[in-house]
Structure 1
Amino acid sequence: MDSPALLDVVVLLIDIPAEKLRKGSLGTIVETFDNGNFLVEFANLNGVTYAMPVLSATQLMKVYQEPIAA
Structure 2
Amino acid sequence: MPTESPCWFTSSYSGNGGACVEVATNLVASRGVVPVRDSKVAGGPSLSVSAAAFSSFVACVKAGRLGA
Using the size of structure 1 for normalisation, the TM-score is: 0.32
Larger radius of gyration: 2
Which structure is higher in strand share?
1
Using the size of structure 2 for normalisation, the TM-score is: 0.33
